[in-house]
């Protein structure tokens, strides 16, 4: 069976990718398979650049076609921050949320979006990147226990609940990650079947 490496050790992301690629004759391999995989510095200035850095590194290390993603929350009133710094914004999810709510204290504009970029690398080159977004607003206080990260304060447009209050199957259908992954899977189906056949 053809193989693709997903540049992550996050089991939730691997499960999601395997589900989305289940109609394909493709085995999705995680980086946990490679015990000596080096730390890769994410020093890009955009989500696409960071996803590309991770995909290229995984492709070069494993010699397999590689997928990588990079994501974060961009808040309009904070000039797009925390953006690519979302995971480094504070020590843990609770502190990240508190810091963001504090930064927005008294701010009327609470518009924000989640962004996810996915890059696919093959034969030492990034061959395509995909970006998914979901727009919404930042709530006044954290609500809900589902999901992770900034989910308790993000209310997607068209809903009155936060991502952490919505059932996970709704988030999985509409999220920035779902949009980007679907586009990437479509590309793999349309364009990469031949690569896999040649390669594996």
Q: Which of 70, 105, 169, 172 is catalytic?
A: 70
Q: Nearest-CA neighbor of 134 among 172, 100, 105?
A: 172
Task: Assess 147 for contact with ligand IMP (CB under 6 A).
Answer: yes
Question: Contacts with ligand IMP in 104-143 (CB under 6 A)?
Answer: 114
Min dist CB 87 to ligand IMP, Å, is: 3
Task: Assess 151 for contact with ligand IMP (CB under 6 A).
Answer: yes
How many CA atoms does the CB half-sphere of 86 hold within 13 Å? Answer: 21
Q: CB of 155 within 8 A of CB of 141?
A: no
Nearest residue (CB) to ligand IMP, 47 versus 122: 47
Min dist CB 73 to ligand IMP, Å, is: 6
How many CA atoms does the CB half-sphere of 192 hold within 13 Å? Answer: 26
Q: Which of 52, 62, 129, 175 binds ligand IMP (CB under 6 A)?
A: 175
70 is catalytic: yes
Q: Which residues bind ligand IMP (CB under 6 A)?
A: 69-73, 86-87, 114, 147-151, 163, 175, 177
């Amino acid at each position: 069976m053809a193989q693709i490496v997903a540049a992550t050790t996050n089991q939730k992301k691997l499960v999601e990718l395997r589900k989305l690629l289940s109609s394909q004759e493709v085995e999705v391999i995680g980086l946990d398979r490679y015990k000596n995989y080096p730390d890769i510095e994410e020093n890009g200035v955009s989500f696409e650049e960071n996803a590309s850095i991770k995909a290229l590194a995984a492709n070069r290390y494993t010699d397999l076609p590689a997928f990588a993603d990079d994501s974060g929350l961009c808040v309009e009133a904070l000039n797009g921050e925390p953006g690519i710094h979302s995971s480094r914004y504070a020590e843990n999810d609770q502190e990240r949320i508190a810091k963001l709510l504090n930064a927005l204290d008294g701010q009327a504009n609470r518009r924000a979006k989640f962004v996810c970029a996915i890059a696919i690398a093959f034969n030492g080159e990034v061959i395509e990147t995909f970006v998914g977004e979901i727009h919404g607003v930042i709530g006044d206080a954290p609500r809900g226990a589902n999901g992770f990260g900034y989910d308790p304060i993000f209310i997607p447009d068209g809903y009155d609940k936060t991502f952490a209050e919505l059932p996970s199957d709704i988030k999985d259908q509409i999220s920035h990650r779902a949009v980007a992954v679907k586009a990437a899977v479509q590309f793999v189906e349309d364009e990469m079947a031949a690569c896999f056949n040649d390669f594996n």
